[in-house]
Every structure is written in structure tokens, then in C-alpha cells.
Structure 1
Amino acid sequence: MRPVRMRGETRAALLGLALFTGVAGGGQSVQPGMALRVSDDGRFLVKRNGGAVVFLLGDTVWPLAHRLTREEMIHYLEVRRNMGFNLVFFSGVAEFGGLGPNAHGHQPFHLSTRPKTGSGKLPVVCTYPEGEVLFDFTKPRITPGADPGDPEQYDYWDHLEFFVAAAGARGIYAALNPVMATCYLRDGHVDESNAEEIGLFFGRRFGKYGNVIWVLGGDIPPDLAPGSLTIHRRMARGLALGAVGKEDYSTVLISFHPEGRMSSATRLHDEPWLAFNMQQSGHGDDAAYESFRADYERTPPKPVLDGEAWYEALPMRIRLGNRPATAFDVRKRAYWAVFSGAFGHIYGENSVMQLWAPGIAPYENIETIHWRQALERERAMEELRTLSQMDKAASSFVSAVSFEMRTPLTSILGFSEMLVSRRLEPEKEREYVEIIAREAQNLSRLIEDLLDISRLESGKLQLQKEVVGLQRLLDVSLPALETPGGPVKISASIPGDLPPVMVDAQRMKRVFDSLFAYI
């Protein structure tokens, strides 16, 4: 690999950014517990350990692997994390000149000896630094060491791994598209003979990071040409083998990014490697909610996500002269997707998605601004982030309510069974009936509180305060916690000289119920 000249300040910045030199990922560690799986009902992605639902709000930066320096990667991640994003969608080998050199002067692959064999006109975003000569995607340029201050050590893949690890250290998922298929499958770089080997390399290198989600394809129909489905299957197999050592797709999340106004479900829904469906709803104002509802209703159920909606500031249909997408347009399409069943949303902004800066030809000659300035345009997603936070709060609330209802229901069922199945002394019967009546009343009050949730949220819920002794509060709570006919009796003794307190007795009972449930 040829040496790269760097100015003194650039070299110093690189050395300062490295947490540990010579360590893959820059010594950064992905936050624990980030690994995801598909929920049991096939609707969401959840934490692999614990099962908590994760709402993914992503941003799109296709060419970050070769356009950003380490300092710029950190800046980008910090800004997006502070804005509430928890996913970044990008290509390992992107369009817009992804074959290199990257920001540090390195290319991803060695050159091939065979000529270009692909047919048909390639998109304008597909450019080649070495003309019509192919690169060998089975021969990545890898050098010993990973010191970012030493260009002889720090290669293209060290740089990409640094970003994946830096994202995970900030709690951000990496939706990694290994190679942009619209360029490299169309032109013959990726075919049936090498797809599995390419997947194997990516799986081994990046599959160890719990924040990685794989996205095959890239702006192409799944069945672009004869053999395309075989290519996708073999690359998916390679990813699994590289990541976990076997073809086990239960622990490797893989999706597929299709062509515009298309869904992966059209041809891939039943593929065992496809964990969730992805749509590209397209850069227009179509009623996309119909397609999301259709994917949501497919069987067997699989989660669905809009991987590319209308990018903010990009003209409709990507045609000069058409009006660009506003914050309202972007927000509307996000709502259409999420309210139709999508488990998250991926945002995009025209200048950020191509990481435009002076000296770079803008995509389709569309007006752009510096990507650092354009980062602020994500304000369109504020409401969606608020919605996802409300959804998490609602889930926590339901869990709390379920816990609150468990005690009275258990008492009612237990004492009712005793009354039905046994002959009891009249005194015991009366005692059990009173407990049942009391717990039914508690349950009724809990339901009333649920119906009155709007008052609770607005702070207008009135407490029914009264002067009551602590012994009385405990005497009301403890009998309901005893197992009918069980060997354990619960009692409490309160010093007689303690003064009474002014509280909402019913709500204090719930506090005691919650505490005593752990006895």
C-alpha cells in the first residue's frame, strides 16, 4: 500500500482520536446488551437479552466509509446521538466513488485481472477510480496493525471498523449494507461465484459487534437478473457463517434494501435469512401506507421498515425543477409508515446522505449545502422521536398496571375457590367474602383510575386524604396477601405511640401491596 502524505495537524488529530493505537475499533466497546432479535409475534425488533422493544430511528449516510475522517465520524455520531437517532444506515463499499480512496487515502480491495463484465447503463453514482478495470472483492486490502497515526497500518477496513465500534459505544446501531448492489452487482464485481466469500469476510470482521444489522441489496429489485436471488442467498449465508460460525439466521439480523417504490417482501418474504422486510417508499408523495399495511398483514408475520423515504430537501422523483421535500413531507411519510405497522423509520437528508462538501460533484446536480450544516435539518423527526418515547412510556405503564391488578385478582380468585371447593365455618365464609368484596372494590378503583388517566397526566387527579393510623393501613393490606389455607400467616405490629397520618388510604394500600408482594 502506498504511503499517504498528511499534514501535521491531521496526523495529530488522528493520534488524539485513537483511544488505543493498534486496536481494531480504536479501543471502543459497543454498549452491552445491544444485540437484537425479532419479537415472538414477528412485529418488532427486541433486545436479545430481556425482550424490550426497540424503536429504531435511523439516518442515512451512504458514503461515510470513504468520505469521512475519524474526527468527522465522531462529530456526526455525537450530533445524531444528541438528536435522538439510534441507527445509522450506510454502505461498507458505497456508491459516489466507494472503491476509494477513502478520506485517509486507502482503497478497500486489490485490483482484479479480469475486465468489467456487467451489462447495461450504470447509475451516475457508480464511479471507478481505475477506469473500466474491476477490483477483486475477495481480496480486501488489509495491513498488519491498526494505528491511525501510521498509514502503513491503518487500512480501509480499520477505518470502517472504527466507525461501527464508535457508533456502538454511543448506543447507535449500524445498519450495514456490505456493498451497494446497484453498482457492484450490476457491473459484475459481485456474482454467484464470490458472494458467499464476500459475506464471510464482512461477517467475520463486523459480526462480532452487537450493534450491527445487515442490509443486503441496495437500490435494486431482488430478482434483478438471472442468478440474483442466488447471489443474495449466498451472501446471507456467508454473513451468518462469518458472524456465528454456522448458517443460523436466528442470531443474525438481515434485511434487503430494494429499488424505489418496492418492498423486499415481493420476492423475499419467505426467505429464511430475511429477518424483516424493508421498503423503499420512494421520493414522492404516494400513499405509502397501503404498501406498509400489505406487508404488515403478510404471513408468517415479519417486521417492516421504510429504509428510504423521500429525503428532506431532495426534489420529488429526484428531478430538477420539482419541489424539494419539506419537513412536513418527511414527517408525513414517517407517520404513514409507523402508523401502518412499521417498527421504526429511516430518515434521509439530501446533503447528509451524500456527505456533500465543496469539491464534490452534487448528486444529479441538485442544490446542496455542506453536510455539517445540513445535519440541523433533522428537526422534522422530533415529533416521531417523541412518539417513540411515549410508546416506551406506555409499555412501562402497562407493566405497572398489570402488577397493580395482580394482587386483587389473586385474592379474589383464591378466596373464591376456597368458598366453592370447601365447607367452611360461617365465620370463615364471612371473612373470605369480605376480603373478596374489598379486593373487588380495590380493582374497581384501579379501573376508575385508568379511565381517568387524562387527569393523572395533567396533574388534576385529586387525592382523598384522611387521618388514619398505620396499624389500620397494614391490617387492611396484609390479609389479602395470605394464601388461602396456606401455612404462612403475615402479621405486623406498630408501636402504639406513633401518631396517625394524613394520607390517601387507598393509594397507600397500593404502596404496601407493591412492597409486600416481594416478601
Structure 2
Amino acid sequence: MKRNTTINLSYLLLCNAINFFLNKNKLLFFGLTITVLCFCGQFAHGQLSVSENGRYLVSHDNTPFLWLGDTGWGLFQKLNREEVDFYLKTRAEQSFSVIHAAVVHKNPFIVPELENIYGDKAFEDEALMKPAITEGNNPKDETAYDYWDHVDYIIEKADEYGIYILFLPLFGMAEDDGYNLINEKNAYSYGKFLGSRYKERKNIIWCMGGDVLSENENCINIWNLLAKGVTEGVAGNEDYTKTLMSYHIRGGHTTSESFMEAPWLDFNMNQTWDLYTSIYSMVSKDYNSMKLAPILHGEGAYEDGPEYPTKPITPHKIRKQAYWATFAGGLHTYGNSNIWSFGTNPKYVTEDWKKAIFSEGARSLSIYTQFMKSIDWWSFIPDQTIIVNGVGAADSLNVAMRSGDKQIMVYLPEPAEITLDLKNKIKSKKLTGEWINPKTGDRKDAGKFKKNELIKIHTPEDWEDALFLLK
């Protein structure tokens, strides 16, 4: 397991100097301000790694990294340069920190397969997965600007906005007829090509799989070979401390089923798809496993998704998924059915993706990020023993966390009255409670409490869901 304990003092001094300069020069024009912000975003995190306690990710200076992901699966194939900039800029402004994207697809959802928006093919030889490379990279010269030049541009543009790419080498293998592109003969060489090409990019998080299970030795070996190729391309040898990797699994499953002992797996990922009420139990199972590793709830029910039996997937349900994953000790990624394929799959589309990107669900998650950044979110651990009456279940599951013996946090996904036991949970004799509205970010005083007592709390009137913070 990779750990990061290095503190980059030079970076901290640089940012302090920049902040001082900006405060002293209020009349700096807007463009310069944005340039400085982009510069800070580009170097603020650097290569991510697993925290020393194995529960979350940290940047190169050991700063806890707050993951808020968006599934933009078709990013590398379906958007032109201008659209890429619009998408990444908007998501950065909304506080998203990671975009899930596949470098190539082999499935009917991204059409045409293995080509990008400019008609450039990913491979000159599909059987060997040999990349199609041309000389030059001038975007104004269509004979020079190839598929992989466009991939380069997107990764660099994401870095400018301080965004990481959860980078899937391949997405969408049909399991009923075997893996339909990658195999044991081409996996290693393809991985090494990618690792060598992107070894200097610090905003890549490598991800094996692609909505696919690994039910036998052959399947597992393919991903082991791909991971080995990537790592040797990055590091020059099989040194998995130089890469950060996970695996994107099929719905209803978790990576811990097949890859718990894989040397390249740094954090687990699960997918619930329509079974979003199982998020807390699924994340909890991995959180309480013997191997300490961060857990990402990588895919749930997509906002406005018409394909789910549990539809409609409202902004309220979007918030529930984020907080359930977080309160179980995990990381979370959001999805919107209008966005992930960028209009390629008509049966999943209800409005243009450029409008859907400003959805209420996305706004709710900006509030989620603001709230998490207002507390030491990384110091909280799940503790359901705090709730002694009114835990609820399924769509109304109330969940609790605590930060040592100093703070308690509860999420109530529906209007409810619950009883909390503060005995031996919190140290201070004088406690202050506060309500936070996850939909709007509004805060409301909840009164004073004593540490060694049972307390009843009731969600504020007319709130769909609520956060209760006691400190």
C-alpha cells in the first residue's frame, strides 16, 4: 500500500506569497487572477497517493484530497476542443475534482466505436491494440492532429483546471462473448504505451476494468498484465508505488471480490447502479474489511436517468447517494444520464448535455463540497451507535459519524425525529448544535446540549433532508 508523508514547504510558501501579492494589489485585472488560480490549481495537488491511515487520498504535500467525481465516460471521444474546455471549466467551477473517462470504448453506447469527434481512429491495428500515431500535433492540421494528440490536450486542459482524470484504458467489453478487444497477447504492450506516454502527467488516476467482471483466471490475468504494462511504462520497472490504481467493476459488485491482493490496486471501487439504497451497506463492508484502503462509490443511479427501475432519480436522491457513501467512510462519484455519453445514446437522453451540466443535482454537490471543506472531513469515522432510536432503513436510513471525541455529524435523508446518545462520544461539557440544509447550504442554530445525555432532534420544517453537526 502506498503512503504519502512528504510535506512540500516550497509549494506552501509559494501560495502564501501569491495570496499576499493578490491581497495587496486589488486592482489586478481579472485575467491575471484567473491565470494565477489556474496555476495554483495545476500544482496544488500533484501526484495523489493513499493516506498513512489508508482511509483517503492525499496530495504530494499530504493535504487530504476531497474526491467529488463526475462520470464523463465519452470525454475523450465525443467532445471537440472547445467543448472540452466548456465541460472541464464548468465542472471545476462546480467543485468537481475528478472526471471518470475512458480513453477508448468498445461498446454500442459511444458511437462510432474507437474513433473520436474528428474521425481519428484510436488504433491502426485493433487486434494488436496498436495506437494510430501521426507526426506532429497541430490541431489546425487534420493530418497531424491524431487521436492521441486529442487525448493529450484533454489531460493537459484538465490539469489547468485542477481536475484529475480517472483514466480507463478501455471501457465496455461484452462478457457474453468474451473480452472483445483486449486479451493476454496485447494487454501488456497497450498498457506500456499508455504508461510511457503519460508518465509525466500527475493528474492521472489509473483504472483497470470498465463496467466488467473478472470471474476467471484469464480475465484477472488480462488486467494484471495491463496494470503491469502501465506501471513499467511509468516507472521503468514493476514499481507500483509510482502509480495510483483502481478497478471499475460491474453494478452490484466491488473490486475486493477479485483484486483484494493485487499489488497494483490502491483503492477499492464499488458500483450500485439502481440499488442506490445499498450504498451505505456496500461501502461499509469494504470499509470494515481486513485490508485498509480507500473505497470509492464509483457509480450509482444517474440524475434524471430514464433507464432505472427506481426512477425518477431526483436531486434529492443524488444528495442521498453522496452522503450515504461519505458517512460509510467512502468517496463518491456522481453521474447524469444526459452527460456521460454527451448525447450519443438517445434512449438515455432527456435534454442537451450543455444544459444538464447546470442541473440541480450538480448544484447540490457543490454545496456538499463546501460543507465538507468547512469541517475536517477526513477526521470523521462512521459510528452508527450514536443513533439509539430512529435509525430507519432503505430510502430513510439515518447515518452518523464522529471526529474523535470533539464532533458528531448526522445525515437524515428524510424528515425524521431521532434520538442520539452522547455518552462517551464527545468530550466537551458544552455542546452546540447546528442544522445544515444539503439542498441550499442554509444553516440554522439547533441549540445547546449536554455531553452525557440522550437528545432528540427533529429535522427543520419543510426540509427534504438535513445535516446535524454537534460540536
Confirm or deny a common fold (TM above 0.5).
Answer: yes
Q: Give the letter for the 1:53 counterpart.
A: P
Determine the structure 1 residue equivalent to 2:372: 388
**Deviation at residue 215 of structure 1 after TM alignment:** 0.9
**Deviation at residue 271 of structure 1 after TM alignment:** 1.1
Q: Give the letter for the 2:333 counterpart.
A: I
**Deviation at residue 382 of structure 1 after TM alignment:** 3.0
**Deviation at residue 284 of structure 1 after TM alignment:** 3.2
Determine the structure 2 residue equivalent to 1:63: 74
**Equivalent residues of 2:307, 2:348 under 8 A apart:** no
Determine the structure 2 residue equivalent to 1:269: 260
In 2, Cα distance between equivalents of 1:93 and 1:73: 16
1:187-226 maps to which residues of 2 (within 5 A)?
Answer: 187-223=179-215, 225-226=216-217
Gaps of 5+ in 1: 1-28, 112-134, 402-446, 460-519
In 2, Cα distance between equivalents of 1:197 and 1:67: 26
Q: Give the letter for the 1:345 counterpart.
A: H
Of 47, 55, 58 in structure 2, the residue corresponding to residue 43 of structure 1 is 55
Determine the structure 1 residue equivalent to 2:132: 141
**Deviation at residue 52 of structure 1 after TM alignment:** 1.2
Identical positions, percent: 30
Q: Give the letter for the 2:189 counterpart.
A: E
**Equivalent residues of 1:110, 1:136 under 8 A apart:** no
In 1, Cα distance between equivalents of 2:378 and 2:297: 23
Determine the structure 2 residue equivalent to 1:337: 325
**Equivalent residues of 1:308, 1:347 under 8 A apart:** yes
Q: Give the letter for the 1:325 counterpart.
A: I
Q: How many residues align?
A: 350
**Deviation at residue 281 of structure 1 after TM alignment:** 1.5
Q: TM-score, normalised by structure 2?
A: 0.69
* Pair 1:376 & 2:364 matched: no
Q: 1:289 to 1:361 in 2, by over 3 A?
A: closer
In 2, Cα distance between equivalents of 1:394 and 1:288: 19
Determine the structure 2 residue equivalent to 1:163: 154
- Please give the secondary structure, in 2, of the residue aligned with 1:351: coil
- Please give the secondary structure, in 2, of the residue aligned with 1:198: helix
**Deviation at residue 90 of structure 1 after TM alignment:** 0.5
**Equivalent residues of 1:30, 1:165 under 8 A apart:** no
Gaps of 5+ in 2: 1-40, 380-402, 407-426, 435-442, 446-471
Determine the structure 1 residue equivalent to 2:452: none
- Please give the secondary structure, in 2, of the residue aligned with 1:88: strand
In 2, Cα distance between equivalents of 1:106 and 1:144: 14
Q: Give the letter for the 2:76 counterpart.
A: A
Q: Give the letter for the 2:79 counterpart.
A: L
Determine the structure 1 residue equivalent to 2:65: 54
Of 198, 213, 233 in structure 2, the residue corresponding to residue 242 of structure 1 is 233
Q: Deviations over 1:249-287 (max 9, x none)?
A: 122011001110110011111211100000012123432
1:6-405 maps to which residues of 2 (within 5 A)?
Answer: 30-31=42-43, 33-47=45-59, 49-94=60-105, 95=107, 96-97=110-111, 99-111=113-125, 135-183=126-174, 186-223=178-215, 225-315=216-306, 317=308, 323-342=311-330, 344-356=331-343, 360-362=344-346, 365-377=347-359, 378-392=362-376
**Deviation at residue 288 of structure 1 after TM alignment:** 1.9
Q: 1:137 to 1:201 in 2, by over 3 A?
A: same
**Deviation at residue 221 of structure 1 after TM alignment:** 1.2
In 2, Cα distance between equivalents of 1:32 and 1:333: 28
**Equivalent residues of 2:133, 2:146 under 8 A apart:** yes
Which protein is richer in helix relative to its size?
1
Q: 1:34 to 1:183 in 2, by over 3 A?
A: farther
In 1, Cα distance between equivalents of 2:178 and 2:147: 23
In 1, Cα distance between equivalents of 2:63 and 2:154: 26
- Please give the secondary structure, in 1, of the residue aligned with 2:240: coil
**Deviation at residue 100 of structure 1 after TM alignment:** 3.9
- Please give the secondary structure, in 2, of the residue aligned with 1:331: helix
In 2, Cα distance between equivalents of 1:144 and 1:258: 36
Q: 1:186 to 1:392 in 2, by over 3 A?
A: farther
In 1, Cα distance between equivalents of 2:311 and 2:432: 43
**Deviation at residue 315 of structure 1 after TM alignment:** 3.2
Q: Deviations over 1:163-201 (max 9, x none)?
A: 011101111011001101425994431001111111111
- The root-mean-square deviation of aligned C-alpha atoms, in Å, is 2.9
Q: Deviations over 1:123-168 (max 9, x none)?
A: xxxxxxxxxxxx2343111011111111111000010111011101
**Deviation at residue 93 of structure 1 after TM alignment:** 0.3
Q: Give the letter for the 2:51 counterpart.
A: S
In 1, Cα distance between equivalents of 2:275 and 2:291: 30
In 2, Cα distance between equivalents of 1:394 and 1:218: 28
Q: Deviations over 1:315-346 (max 9, x none)?
A: 363x5xx622111111111111110010x211
- Please give the secondary structure, in 2, of the residue aligned with 1:182: coil
In 2, Cα distance between equivalents of 1:220 and 1:210: 26
Q: 1:86 to 1:394 in 2, by over 3 A?
A: closer
Q: 1:325 to 1:137 in 2, by over 3 A?
A: farther
In 2, Cα distance between equivalents of 1:65 and 1:30: 20
**Equivalent residues of 2:130, 2:190 under 8 A apart:** no
**Deviation at residue 296 of structure 1 after TM alignment:** 0.4
**Equivalent residues of 1:108, 1:157 under 8 A apart:** yes
In 1, Cα distance between equivalents of 2:137 and 2:64: 36
In 2, Cα distance between equivalents of 1:101 and 1:46: 35
Q: Deviations over 1:438-484 (max 9, x none)?
A: xxxxxxxxx97x956779x999xxxxxxxxxxxxxxxxxxxxxxxxx
Q: 1:105 to 1:83 in 2, by over 3 A?
A: same
Q: 1:287 to 1:139 in 2, by over 3 A?
A: closer
Q: TM-score, normalised by structure 1?
A: 0.63
In 2, Cα distance between equivalents of 1:82 and 1:74: 12
In 2, Cα distance between equivalents of 1:458 and 1:63: 41
The structure with more radius of gyration? 1
